[in-house]
Every structure is written in structure tokens, then in C-alpha cells.
Structure 1
């Protein structure tokens, strides 16, 4: 009785399922004889079938999935740009507000200094004629010094706040640039996926 390819495949499957290696000798022994040439040719096709079954199926992503990926990339990019622009606008507004406050503080300090200088000059002239006004002039001088110190303190505080705002602005700028770069990388990955999808199709 001639041995068919199906006979060889059946024996090879049985040996493999039982944990044995389906060698030519093992298959021939299980068949009870047969030509090594016939068994060898049949085992080649059996191994090809086994290899094909073990190879994972690779399919291109459906058009709907690729379209969703593309839309997601566009959405991420738009969100990153909007976040960066919004944050930069807020930082610019805060910077301008702080700058205006500092300029106002300097202006007020200068006006106060001029006012105190005028008062001191007036007191000096009065002291030329009335020594009793010396105490009042000294108090005015102390008041002027305290006012100038307070104005300087406010100016220093505003300068420190401005410096923090500048540092925060740089930090947010870096975050915005990173978000844009991440979005760009995501867009690049989506392009690669789309290209693979076209090649697979």
C-alpha cells in the first residue's frame, strides 16, 4: 500500500502533539515502513504548514482606524499650540502688569522724594528764623527716610516678582516647546503608521 502525503502529515501531527520530534525515522517507524524520499518530501510540506501557522497574521490598520489616528494627531497638535499660545499670552499680560506696577512704584517714590525734599527745604528756611522748628524738621526728615525706604522696599519686591514671572515664562515656554515637539513626534509616528498601512494594503 502506497504512503500518501496525508498519511505522513497525520503521523507527524500525532507525534508532535504527543511531544515527540517528528523526524524522518520516527515518522517512518510510526507508518510501519515506506520510502524515505516520499516521507522526506511530505515532511517538507508539513513543516511549511507548521511554519505558516506559527507566523502571526499582519494586517494593515483599517482606514477608519488610520483616519482616527490622523484626527487624533491633529487634535493633539492643535491643543498643544493653543495651550502654548494661551500660556504665553497670560505670561505676557502678567509681565506687563508687573512692569506697570514697578514703574508706578518708582514714580510714586520719586514724587514722594521730591515732596519730602521740598518740605525739608521749607523747614530749613524756617529754621533759619525759628530754631524751635528744628524738632519738626527732624521728624519730617525721618518720615521722608521711612517713606523712601518703604518705596525702595516695594520697588525691590516688584523687581523680585518680575524676575519670578520671567523665570516662570521661560519655564512655560520650554514646556510649550516640549508639547509641540511631542506632538510633532506623534505626528511623525502617525505618518509612519499610515505609510505602513499603505504598504500593507
Structure 2
């Protein structure tokens, strides 16, 4: 609720109070209006003329009415021009803001599309790498199993060679058996 009171409001309240036979004081006007500062009400009350005295004033000359009407029309015209100018500035500012927002939204949408494309590409690469890792792990496991079977076979063959060496030594066969070498076999 606004606190400010206009001159017209103060004069109307003073007229109402005066018609009841009371003195239109600042305190009485503030009580009637329910708002306004005492100093503002007092300032507006200084220009108040009781309604009975206003009615007894001579009529406003027609030439003065023309001047007042012309002045009012000029003020109204200037007010409309000012309002139109302010409205045009606000409209331009809103349009610029809307254009900037659209531009930013378009750039953001393009960035989102790029990121979605990159995410899809990254997911495809991850799937390919995951498959490749699984295949390599299978190969490693197969090589480890193959290595264990070779080690087992080598242990068996080494045991067989040792058994043969002992057997040959026991029978006193004059063959010379040298240490078994996996890369090279020599017999004398």
C-alpha cells in the first residue's frame, strides 16, 4: 500500500470533513485517508479552498480554458512520445536478450549433439576394447595352459632321460651320454 497522498486526495478529504462541520486539520485528514505524512498533508492543505468559496469564484475565461486544454494536450502528446520511446527501447532490449538466449541455446544444443556423438563413439570403442581384452585374456590363458603342458611334458621327458641314463650306467654300456639339451642333441 502506498503511503504518499496527492493534493487531490487531501482536498477531497478536506471537503468531506468541512461538510460535516468540522475543521479540516492535518490530523483529521490523515485519520480520514489512513495514510500520508503530516508535512505532505499540510503542504497540500495550504492550497485548499473550501468548496463553497470555490463555487463562488468567477468562471474560467474561455481563452484560458483553450490554453489549459492545449497545454494538457501537449503534455499528453509528450507523455505518449516518451512512453513510446521507452517501450521501443525495452522492446529492443528484450529482442536482443531473446536473440542472445536463442544463440546460446543453439550453441549449447550443438555442443550437446557433439558430446552425444563422441559419447557414442567412446562407448563403441570401449565395447571393442573390452572384446579385445577378453580375447587376449583367453589367449593368455591358452598360452599359460600350453606352457604348463610343455613344462609337464619336459619334466616327463627329463625323468625318462634320467631313467635311461641310470639304466645304461647300471648295465655298463660304454656309451657316453651327455646332459640333455633341449636345443641341441649330440651323441658320440
Superposition TM-score, scaled by structure 1 size:
0.38
From the CA coordinates, give the structure whose radius of gyration is larger: 2
Superposition TM-score, scaled by structure 2 size:
0.40
Structure with more relative contact order (C-alpha pairs < 8 Å, separation 6 or more): 1
Greater fraction of residues in helix: 1
